[in-house]
């Protein structure tokens, strides 16, 4: 009998879920449901995870991930009810720990700090989930370094270090391919992205390596 007391609450919760206002869709006069366009901004954690460096067949461990931050915006453009195109732009700051294999024998370690922009062009698939929708997306991203500094420490110096433009060692422009999943809830957007480096992002010596980026973000839609 006690379970019956909860029955009206369960029915009410189901009713609210089904009939909750969903601002990402609209119903036309002919009862056709269509997705709507919107602009969103976001901020999140941006982790750069470079792969091992290939040097004439030798694998070198040159980098350790540290941290990064990202802010940006995008425009959601429905193609139909389920598919959409989403261009955007983001600014980031990332920091990468560099290890001794990245330098010559007189240097030990250091770090690289980068400030840059990512320009994505994503194609996605959305499924309605009141009061918003879930989505998966993929597409290319252009990673452009705007400013960067490389700091290295010498093994035979007490606190001695050198500073230089990091784009003497790294490529300024790289191409990534992104995969992401996420969810919108009313005006909020949550998501996780994983971008795979498609081009060599190291330009020093004959080194070859690809960068991988993990992004966890929260956003607001308008």
pLDDT tens for residues 51-91? 888 887 788 878 888 789 999 999 999 999 899 999 999 99
pLDDT of residue 24: 86
| pLDDT, tens digit, 9 for 90 and up, residues 34-56 | 889 999 999 999 888 888 888 87
Do 165 and 145 meet the contact criterion of CB atoms below 8 Å apart?
Answer: no
Q: Do the Cβ atoms of 193 and 176 come closer than 8 Å? A: no
Query: For 9-18, what is each residue's pLDDT tens digit?
Result: 444 344 434 4
Stretch 195-209: mean pLDDT, rounded? 88
CATH code of the domain in which 172 resides: 2.40.160.20
Higher pLDDT, 168 or 1: 168
Give pLDDT, residue 5.
44
How many domains is the chain partitioned into structurally? Answer: 1
Residue 111 φ then ψ, to 5°:
-155, 160
3-class secondary structure, 146: strand
* Helix, strand or coil, per DSSP, at residue 163: strand
Domain containing residue 122: 2-221
Question: Which secondary-structure segment (H or E) carries 186?
Answer: none
């Amino acid at each position: 009998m006690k379970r019956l007391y909860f029955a009206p609450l369960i029915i009410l919760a189901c009713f609210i879920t089904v009939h909750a206002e969903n601002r990402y869709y609209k119903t036309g006069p002919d009862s056709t449901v269509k997705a709507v366009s919107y602009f969103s901004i976001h901020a999140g954690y941006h982790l750069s995870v470079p792969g091992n460096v290939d040097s004439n067949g030798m694998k070198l461990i040159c980098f350790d991930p540290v941290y990064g931050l990202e802010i940006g915006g995008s425009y959601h453009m429905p193609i139909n009810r389920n598919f959409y195109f989403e261009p955007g732009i983001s600014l980031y700051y990332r920091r990468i720990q560099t290890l001794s294999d990245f330098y010559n024998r007189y240097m030990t370690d250091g770090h690289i700090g980068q400030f840059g922009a990512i320009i994505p062009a994503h194609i996605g698939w959305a499924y309605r989930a009141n009061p918003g929708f879930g989505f998966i997306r993929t597409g290319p991203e252009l990673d452009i370094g705007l400013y960067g500094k490389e700091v290295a420490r010498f093994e035979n110096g007490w606190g001695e270090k050198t500073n230089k433009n990091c784009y003497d060692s790294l490529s300024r422009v790289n191409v990534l391919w992104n995969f992401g999943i996420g969810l919108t809830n009313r005006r909020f957007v949550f998501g996780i992205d994983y971008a795979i480096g498609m081009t060599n992002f190291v330009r020093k010596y004959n080194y070859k390596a690809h960068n991988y980026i993990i992004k966890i973000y929260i956003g607001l839609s308008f």
